[in-house]
Amino acid sequence: MKPIIIGNWKMKLNYQQSKTLAQELANLANPVDTSNNDIVVCPLHSAFLLVKEILKDSGIKMGVQDIFWEESGAFTGCESPKFLADAGCQYAIIGHSERRQYLGETNEWIHKKIKGALDNGIVPILCVGETFSERQQGLTDYIILNQVIKALSGIDLVAGEELVIAYEPVWVIGSGRAIDPAEAEQAFRVIRQAVIDLWPLTIVETNVRIIYGGSIDASNFREFIDLEYFAGFLVGGASLSSQEFWQIIKNI
């Protein structure tokens, strides 16, 4: 599958900065050739429509950093997958480690969110990864496998539905140092095996992209692009600089 490069803006930009970054990306894209890769940005929900409007002719696709599972109802503060899909959202990050860590996001919620996204035609970007202490205890493969299985078991990915799974070692996120690419490749294998156990190989090969996230920047991304099963990046910090993000996009 063609690689996907996703910018996770987190809660790091204010309104004006979001506008400026979107404008810079629109200028660089002009519009971008999407035959080589897919490019997605995930601003805050509150900046979604603003950024979408600026990027409307750029070829860059829109995503969000979280989503709720119900389409409508008395759920104060939640973001409906149906509403977002109608508003032009094509991707949703689900189960990011910062939400697991600070907001008590559980595997059960993550599973429901994946389902809610898929039911509304939104591509879930499921994030999985181990903490440093889990790695030290030799639990990396187990943690990844467990997170993938809990999120996806019982979901029947069918033709036409896509999924992105981002391996993001928690201890590497925002650290400025990416993981050893060989370790990322090992995680890709574990994830791939887990999804092969769930769905037919043809679906896995055409509809599931496994990507890496965690301190990727313009200086280190090349070390990952030839890894087996590599299909893209989830980029945090480096996606806040239009030039740096574009360096990565242009060279994949």
Catalytically active residues are 96, 168
CB of 173 to ligand PGA, least distance (A): 4
- Cα–Cα nearest to 191, from 250, 125, 132, 100: 125
* Three-state secondary-structure class, residue 119: helix
- Using CB under 6 A as the binding rule, whether residue 214 contacts ligand PGA is answered as yes
d(CA 91, CA 81): 10
What string marks each residue from 13 to 42 as x (binds ligand PGA by CB under 6 A) or -?
------------------------------
Whose Cβ is closer to ligand PGA: residue 11's or residue 49's? 11
DSSP string over 225-250: TTSTT--EEEESGGGGSHHHHHHHHH
Least distance (Å) between residue 104 CB and ligand PGA:
18
Please provide the DSSP assignment of 42-65 as one string.
Answer: E--GGGHHHHHHHTTTTS-EEEES
To ligand PGA, the closest distance from the beta carbon of 27 in angstroms equals: 23
168: contact with ligand PGA by CB under 6 A: yes
Q: Does 80 bind ligand PGA (CB under 6 A)?
A: no
Q: Does 174 bind ligand PGA (CB under 6 A)?
A: yes
Q: Does 81 bind ligand PGA (CB under 6 A)?
A: no
Among 8, 18, 140, 147, binds ligand PGA (CB under 6 A): 8
Is there binding between residue 237 and ligand PGA (CB under 6 A)?
yes
Whichever of 203 and 210 has its CB closer to ligand PGA, that residue is: 210
Residues 231, 229: Cα–Cα separation, whole Å: 6
**Phi/psi of residue 218, each to 5°?**
-65, -20
Is there binding between residue 219 and ligand PGA (CB under 6 A)?
no
Q: Choose one: 48-56, 106-114, 186-194, 210-218; the region binding ligand PGA (CB under 6 A).
A: 210-218
> What is the smallest separation between the CB atom of 216 and ligand PGA, expressed in angstroms?
5
Helix H or strand E segment including 89: none
The terminus-to-terminus CA distance of the chain in angstroms comes to 13
Cα separation of 127 and 105, whole Å?
A: 12
Q: Tell me the backbone φ, ψ of residue 204, rounded to 5 degrees.
A: -60, -45
Q: How many residues bind ligand PGA (CB under 6 A)?
A: 13
Q: How far apart, in whole angstroms, are the C-alpha atoms of residue 145 and residue 4? A: 22
Q: Which residues bind ligand PGA (CB under 6 A)?
A: 8, 168, 173-174, 213-216, 234-238
